[in-house]
Structure 1
Amino acid sequence: MTETTDKKQLLHLVFGGELSDLTDVQFRDLSALDIVGIFPDYASALTAWKAKAQQTVDNAHMRYFIVHMHRLLDPKATGL
């Protein structure tokens, strides 16, 4: 078995964009969203998120997010 099949995949999406207003999550331009990638676990998603957040630290309106895709794919699952 490979590493990806040995443990359950808990997919995470990392993406970001420039916000219109710092008090709400409304993106200034949806066509300019930065899709960083989909990752097999939270740890690798967090590493990617940190790297992108650090690259854009000078832009206060730029925000990156981690979406727990595995929760969207299986909303009945608990404890993940």
Structure 2
Amino acid sequence: MEEQTAEQTLYLVMGGRVTDPRAITFADPEGLHVAGVFGDYEAAENVWRGNAQRTVDDAEMKYVIVPLHKLLDPEG
């Protein structure tokens, strides 16, 4: 009998100073703040929201949620 396993989801929350507030080109990739890796979108969004709100007055700071599971298995 084949065992069905649910696809694991992983979300990375990271942020830093961008070169243009309308884009996602980080000025200092080595200096990015990695807020963490999360197993569900809701947890990642909560951490993203907290960091984004903390830096809301700085237009050059941007936080993003990266769906790592899509990068690890692009055909899945």
Normalized against structure 2, the TM-score is what? 0.83
Provide the aligned C-alpha RMSD in A: 1.7
Of 25-34 and 60-69, more deviation after overlay is shown by 25-34
Is residue 2:66 matched to residue 1:67?
yes
Q: Which residue of 1 aligns with 2:3?
A: none
Q: Which residue of 2 aligns with 1:18?
A: 17
Q: Encode CA deviations 1:37-80: one digit per residue, 9 max, x unaligned.
A: 00001110000000000110110110000000111111122xxx
Unpaired runs of 5+ in structure 1? Answer: 1-6
Instruction: Report how far residue 8 of structure 1 moved.
Output: 4.6
Task: Give the number of equivalent residue pairs.
Answer: 72
Q: Whole-Å Cα distance in 2 between the matches of residues 60 and 15 of structure 1?
A: 16
Q: Which residue of 2 aligns with 1:38?
A: 37
Which stretches of structure 1, 4 residues or more, deviate above 3 A after TM superposition?
A: none
Q: Whole-Å Cα distance in 2 between the matches of residues 38 and 11 of structure 1?
A: 7
Of 23-32 and 57-66, more deviation after overlay is shown by 23-32
Unpaired runs of 5+ in structure 2? Answer: 1-5
Letter in 2 for 1:37: G
Q: Whole-Å Cα distance in 2 between the matches of residues 55 and 24 of structure 1?
A: 20
Q: Whole-Å Cα distance in 1 between the matches of residues 43 and 13 of structure 2?
A: 10
Q: Whole-Å Cα distance in 2 between the matches of residues 23 and 58 of structure 1?
A: 15
SS of alignment partner, residue 58 of structure 2: coil
